[in-house]
Amino acid sequence: MDYSIALIPGDGIGPEIVKEAKKVLDAVCRKYHHTFTYSEVLLGGASIDVHGVPLTEDAVARAKASDAVLMGSIGGDAKTSPWYQLEPSRRPEAGLLAIRKALNLFANLRPAYLYKELQKACPLKEEVIGDGFDMIIVRELTGGLYFGERKTTEENGVKTAVDTLTYNENEIRRIAVKAFDIAMKRSKKVTSVDKANVLDSSRLWRKVVEEVAADYPEVTLEHMLVDNCAMQLVHNPGQFDVILTENMFGDILSDEASMVTGSIGMLSSASLNDTKFGLYEPSHGSAPDIAGQDKANPIATILSAAMMLRYSLDLDKEADAVEAAVQKVLTEGYRTCDIMSEGCTEVGTSKMGDLIAEAV
Ligand code: NAD
C-alpha cells in the first residue's frame, strides 16, 4: 500500500531521532512491500529560522494532506536560544499548540510499558512491579478545565479566581469511542477515571461512557475515582489496560504513569482527531543539552512511529514487528547512554536506529 507521511524533525535532537525512525519505517516498507512518501514540514525553531514564525499555513496544509504526521520535538534552551527573545506567540511552543489546534487533535494517547530489561530504572519495588505493566492513557485534550471560562475578580479587597470545568456529551462520546476502539486492539479492558462522587461533569462522563460501552460487548468497563487511580498506579500498575480520562486528570495521571517506567527516552505518544489521522511524537522534549552528539535515545520516536502504523495506517502486523525489534535489541543488551547499565553495550543514536531497522 502507498501512504504519505509528514515528517517534522523540529529542533535539538529532533532531526537525529526522526532520521532513525525513518530508517526503521524504510525497513518496514522493504519487508512488507509498502511505499511511504515523506514530506518534510518545518515547525518550531526550525520554522522561525526560515520563515520568522513557528508555523506557516503551508506547513499546516502539508500536514493535513498526509495520512499521518511523525514529529521529533521542538524548542531550544530558553536561557540561550534567540527564539526566546521573541514575544510568546512567536516562540517555538506556540507553533506546536497551533498545529495541534489546526489538526483538531482531541485525543492524547500515552502508553506506559515496562521492559523487563529496564526494570532497574522503575522506582517501584519488585513485588509491586510483578509481571510488569502495559497500559495506555487516553486523555481528552481540548475540553474541560483548561479550556473553560476563567476569571479573577476582587471584592472588598479580597481576590477570587474561578475556572470552569465544562464537558458536553459529544466531547465525551468521541473520546470514549477512541478509548474503546483502542481497547479492541489490546486486552479489551477500559478503566474510566472520573470524580463522579463530587463533580457533575464526571457524572455525565460516566453516563456517556456507559452508553458507548454498550456498543463494545467484548470490552470490560470499570469506573475508578481519580484519587484511587493515582494510588493504584503505584500500588498495582499491572491491573490497567486502557485508562480513559478527561483533560486535567489525564495530564496528571499520564505523567505519573510515565515516571513509573523510569526512562524518558523510551516513551511514545500520539494525538488523534476524529478520523484515523494523528500526530505522533516522543513524550520527551528536544534535549538541547545533548543535541548533535549522537547521544539521544531514538526509541521513543521509533515507538511513536509504531503507534502511527497501528492507529493511523491500520498496519498492526507492521507495528508489532517494530515493537518486537525494539524488544530484541534491548534483550541483546544494546543501550543508549540514558538507559545504560552494567554488562550492556553502549551505542549512539545512529547505531541504535541501525540495529532496530535490521531487527525489523
Ligand atoms: P527534555 O525532555 O528535552 O530533557 C530533559 C532531560 O532528559 C535532559 O537531560 C535531556 O538530555 C534528557 N532527554 C530527553 N530526551 C532524551 C532522549 N531521547 N535520549 C536521552 N536523553 C533524553 O526537557 P527540557 O530540557 O525541559 O526541555 C528542552 C526543550 O524541549 C524546551 O525548549 C522545551 O520547551 C521543549 N519541549 C518540547 C516538547 C515537544 O516538542 N512536544 C515537549 C517537552 C519539552
Q: Which H or E run includes 94?
A: helix 92-102
CA-nearest residue for atom 9, ligand 1, is 287
93 Cβ closer than 6 Å to some ligand 1 atom: yes
Tell which atom from ligand 1 comes closest to the C-alpha of 44.
40
Instruction: List the one residue out of 320, 315, 255 whose CA is nearest residue 110.
Output: 255
Q: Is the CB of 338 under 6 A from ligand 1?
A: yes
Q: Please indicate whether residue 313, judged by its CB atom, sits closer than 6 Å to ligand 1.
A: no
Say what the pLDDT of residue 261 is: 86
Per residue in 300-309, pLDDT (tens digit) is: 999 999 999 9
- List the Cα angle 297/301/305 in 5-degree steps: 150
- What is the per-residue pLDDT across 17-67, written as a single tens digit (0 to 9) for each? 999 999 999 999 999 999 999 999 999 999 999 999 999 999 999 999 999
Q: What is the DSSP letter of 270?
A: E
Q: Average pLDDT in the 166-177 region?
A: 97
User: What is the per-residue pLDDT for 97?
Assistant: 87
For the chain, give the mean pLDDT: 95
* pLDDT score at 79: 92
Q: For 17, list phi and psi in degrees, rounded to 5.
A: -80, -30
**CB-count burial class (<10 Å; 0-12, 13-18, 19+) for 43:** buried
Instruction: Please indicate whether residue 250, judged by its CB atom, sits closer than 6 Å to ligand 1.
Output: no
77 pLDDT higher than 80 = yes
pLDDT in tens, 329-360: 999 999 999 999 889 999 999 999 999 999 99
Query: Is the pLDDT reported for residue 5 higher than 90?
Result: yes
**Eight-class DSSP state of 13:** T
Q: Which pLDDT does position 63 carry in this prediction? A: 97
Tell me, in angstroms, the distance from the centre of ligand 1 to residue 290's CA.
10
Say what the pLDDT of residue 192 is.
98
Cα 279 to the center of its chain, rounded Å: 9
Going by C-alpha positions, the residue among 141, 137, 61, 66 that lies closest to residue 97 is 141
Cell of 308: 502511527
Residues belonging to the active site: 146, 195, 227, 251, 255
Q: What is the mean pLDDT of residues 262-274?
A: 90
